[in-house]
Structure 1
Amino acid sequence: MIHNQLKVAIHAYSDELTELRRKLHREPEVSWEEVKTTQFICEYLEGLGIPYRRTEPTGVIADITGGKPGKTVALRGDMDALQVEELNQDLPYASMENGKMHACGHDAHTAMLLIAAKALNDIKEELPGNVRLLFQPAEEVAEGAKMMVEQGAMEGVDNVFGIHIWSQMPTHKVSCMPGPSFASADLFKVAFKGKGGHGAMPHDCIDTAIVASSFVMNVQNVVSRTIDAQHPAVLTVGKMTVGTRFNVIAENAFIEGTVRCFNPETRDHIEKQLGHYAEQVAAIYGATAKVEYIRGTQAVINDEYSAKLVQKVASEAFGEDVLYNEKPTMGGEDFSFFLDKAPGSFALVGSGNPKKDTEWAHHHGKFNIDEDALATGAELYAQYAWVYLND
């Protein structure tokens, strides 16, 4: 089922794959600033003779046209870095940009997709269909995938596949289960208005420090007491700004947080309850509340056919013991916007290795990957495309 030449090619290109990843790691660019990264990808594709077009303001869509008619499968790799200080300064490929680093593995995703494209391009005359390559910007702000869809990334696509390097899984392991994979990720903001005054005269005031504190404590009941326990959800208050001075009653309080879940009805319920709790808590103290709920990424739900195809491909390419059952994560992924347009799946490829100190959490300044996982990801991209088009 898998194509042996793809396996041979990925192995032959493994040194180049590592160098590509290291170059990208040294030169990180955050969301919507991936100008040099976009240019590098374009030049690399030009060298392979693969036609492409840029998306605005950053990003690349490319197509490998097969020698035979057939379906179109899209492969997605994101490319943006984070505003995180690199703490691995002893690495020869450490970030050269202060306060910026590839702390989530997107450098690996881009490198893997480039090499997968190179290997697929070698056998394009055998392909019964087409492979679309999506080099996506701005995943970290949950905007890049939606932008690419709006600019035609999914037009004519029958199936879409993505990969994320995963430091919480052992190197080489592959997880792709049907159903929920990543949660929806929303942002909420609450502004409380009270009545300020002297810290020695609280009876003349409406203290929003008390209002906000009460809200933070009580709003957790939305998850623990109003949602079916079999529908997991997370509601986190991550930021609270209250008051201006130690002896002044706070007139204003501002809260920001995030909501994560897999079920659309649960998502709607939490949004409604947030408004209800904010208004009722404010009313108890005589304050007012204004709530803003911003929907970010949707839940990533793996199509059953596609997920099982990933498992089948991984088993044949690397052996059945490569399969791993990673539980769904409450992390967010804007890959969901591609899944709105075509069925597909999103796989995790393990890169955690305690001997190489690569088990740090994503978004941490010490995050790094076991580069032995790169070839696994690159081949999985390529073999999935080949098998899907031939299935």
Structure 2
Amino acid sequence: MPDFARHSLLDLPPYPAAGYARLADRIATLIATGNDVVFVQAEAVVALEAAATSLGTAGMRALNIVTSPYGELFGGWLTRAGVDVVELRAEPGLPVTVEAVAQALAGAGGVDLVALVHAESASGILNPLPAIARLAREKGALLLVDAVASAGGHELDVDALGIDIAVIGPQKGLGGPAGISALCVSQRAWQAIDRPDAPQRSVLSLIDIKRNWLDAGRGALSGMPSALEFHALEAALDRVEAEGMAGTIARHVRAQRATRAGLEALGARLWIGDEREASRLVTTILLPEGLDAHRLAQDEAAIAAGLTAGVGAVASKLLRLDHTGPRAGRETVLQGVRAVGHILNRAGFATDERAAEEAVAGVYGP
């Protein structure tokens, strides 16, 4: 990076205090909600822990849906807060089924909270959020959704779905910075959080954020806000709004379909056969027997194309192609598909790279 570019990152002006509320309102518009949007000045895993820590309390009963290590973490945080957690685990690396959720809710008796990850970057799956949201509403339970790897790539109409807390990480589909997160919080969720035993004077305290920012008129944030992160978030929102949220989602749909078409033509085996159950930000393939994803991901072509091993119980079997945010475009998709062909060929498996390129072109056009 040239020296002048480095200095420009260091010498940014402070972010204006009045701008934080505008950013929050812009995010609310993108995810279709009239609920409060607040910021946690850290990566999304901190925001998720803050949500669990602030919401969880002794006597609460939660159904925690686990489809990756992220769901496991959330269940642990709820348990630490004193929550009686009923854990529903999907088959390793696969989406949870609506039937399994309905059965778990029926067998759990009263449930105060349902928590799940919408789309999983760990394995490239998509959980059936609309149906689960409906089941949660029927039970009168609060609904908490980790939307870090879905916002910008999948439809996320927060109010229509009845989501009480949605955690957003701008670094994924929105193409923004990783060092700041947003939480959308309903009034019903605030009522559950605002209680005498709620954690206070803590980076994990959402009630601190409510009292010190929301209730104080949404002016200056407490602490020392990172100007770099907020300027970057504003730039990312400018780009998304210029494209339109529908356009951003459509671009991810196209990248997903082109990637899947290219990989199938290549001869690779898609991990998720049904596109409706697959993430639009990450596509995964199941490697042939005897190949290890962690080793293959060290190939120069894989590194250049951003290919990575899966995360979780089936990590060594899955190779991930990232078409997230700015990467959701023709050239990045083509580079990823070509890289898969290259590393499979080197491992002794025949692939049809020309057919793969034609399949990608068939989605994007000449």
Shorter-normalised TM-score: what interval? Answer: under 0.3
Pair member with larger Rg: 1
Q: Greater helix share, 1 or 2?
A: 2
TM-score (norm 1): 0.26
* Structure showing greater relative contact order (alpha-carbon pairs closer than 8 Å, 6 or more residues apart): 1
| Higher strand fraction (1 or 2) | 1
